Amino acid sequence: MLRKLILFFILVFAETVVYAQDSYNYAQWGLGVFAGINQPYVDVKKVNQGKSFDVVGYYNYTPYMLIGLEIQSGELSGGSIVTDPSKRQFDNQYLAVFAHVDYSIGEMVDYEDNAFLSAVKDFYAGTGMGVIMNKMKFIQRYNLDASTLYPVGTYRFPGKDNSISFAVPIRFGYEFKIYNSYGEPFIGLNIQYVHTVTFNEELDGYTDPPGVFKNNSPDQYRQIQFGVKVNFGPTSVYDKRIN
C-alpha cells in the first residue's frame, strides 16, 4: 500500500512538472523580419505606394510585452513632373531606426478560462521613437511652370536632398503563435498596421512655407506589413498559461 501511495505521488509530481514546463515557459529573445507596402502623407497632391522591409530584434519581457529595436528601409514617393499642379516629384529611399514597446491584450486580462479572451489575447499595440534618414533618389528641385514672378528653372523649392526626421511609430497588430513541443511560443506570424508621424517636413524633400503650399500636418506615412518572428535563447517562466 505504501509503495502504491509513493508511486502515486511521484506520478502526480511528474505530471505537474511537465504541465508547468508545457504551459508557462517562454524564450527571452526574438528576431523578426517584416515586409509590406507603405504610403506617404506629405505635401504633394498625388502619392504612390512603395515597399518597406524591417528587421527587428526583441527582448521578450513577457510573452505579451516586447521591447524591440528595429531597422527599416523603404521607399516613399509621390508627385509628378507631368500631372502635379506644381510639377513637383520626389522619390525618397530612406533608412530608419526605431525603439518601441509592443503590449498585447494577454498581458492585461485573465484569459485562461475564457474562450473569447483567449482568442483575442494576441492583439497588440505599441509605440516608440526613432530617426528616419531621408535620401532623395530623385527630386524635382526647380520649378517647371512659368509664372510672372519665377520663369522656368529660376525658383528652387526649399528643402534638403538628405536629411534626418525624428519620428513616432504607432502600431496595431495580431500575432499567430506557433508552439514547440514544450508548449513554448516558438514562431509568431504577424500582421500589423503602422502609422509613423515625423516632427518635420523632410519626408518629401520639400519645406515650402505654408503660405506657398497648403500644409496642415507634419509629414507621415503608413505601412501594412506581414512578418515572421522566431523566439530563442534562455527561457523565463510566466504566471499564466500561454498556449
The pLDDT, as a whole number, for residue 11 is: 44
Question: Could you tell me if 94 and 134 are in contact, meaning their C-beta atoms sit under 8 angstroms apart?
Answer: yes
Q: Residue 239: inside a domain, yes or no?
A: no
Residues 6+ positions from 138 with CB-CB distance below 8 Å: 89, 90, 91
Q: Residue 243: inside a domain, yes or no?
A: no
Please give the angle made by the CA atoms of 182, 178 and 225, to the nearest 5 degrees.
150
The pLDDT, as a whole number, for residue 3 is: 55
The pLDDT, as a whole number, for residue 15 is: 44
Q: Residue 24: inside a domain, yes or no?
A: yes
Alpha helices by DSSP H, 25-159: 115-120
**How many angstroms separate the CA atoms of 134 and 116, rounded?**
43
Compute the Cα dihedral for 136, 138, 140, 142 and give only its sign: positive
> Which residues on adjacent β-strands are paired with residue 61?
none
Which amino acid type is present at position 243? N
Flag whether pLDDT at 212 surpasses 60.
Answer: yes
Q: Residue 242: inside a domain, yes or no?
A: no
Query: In the chain, where do the E strands start and end?
Result: 25-41, 50-62, 65-79, 89-104, 123-139, 162-179, 185-198, 220-237
**Residue whose C-alpha cell reads 518601441 in the numeric block:** 100
pLDDT tens for 98-122 read 999 999 999 999 988 899 999 999 9
**How many angstroms separate the CA atoms of 164 and 160, rounded?**
10
Q: Residue 8: inside a domain, yes or no?
A: yes
- Total structural domains in the chain? 1
Q: Residue 37: inside a domain, yes or no?
A: yes
Closest CA to 174 of 122, 126, 223: 122
> Which residues on adjacent β-strands are paired with residue 100?
68, 128
- Higher-pLDDT residue of 207 and 174 is 174
Instruction: Compute the CA torsion angle 122, 125, 131, 133 (nearest 10 deg).
Output: 70
Q: Residue 118: inside a domain, yes or no?
A: yes
The CATH number covering residue 64 comes to 2.40.160.20
Q: Residue 38: inside a domain, yes or no?
A: yes
The pLDDT, as a whole number, for residue 240 is: 87
Q: Up-side HSE of residue 178: CA atoms within 13 Å toward CB?
A: 8
Average pLDDT for residues 55-70, to the nearest whole number?
Answer: 97
**How many angstroms separate the CA atoms of 132 and 117, rounded?**
37
DSSP conformation class of 18:
H
Q: What range does the domain containing 15 cover?
A: 2-234
Q: pLDDT band at 145, cuts 50/70/90? A: confident
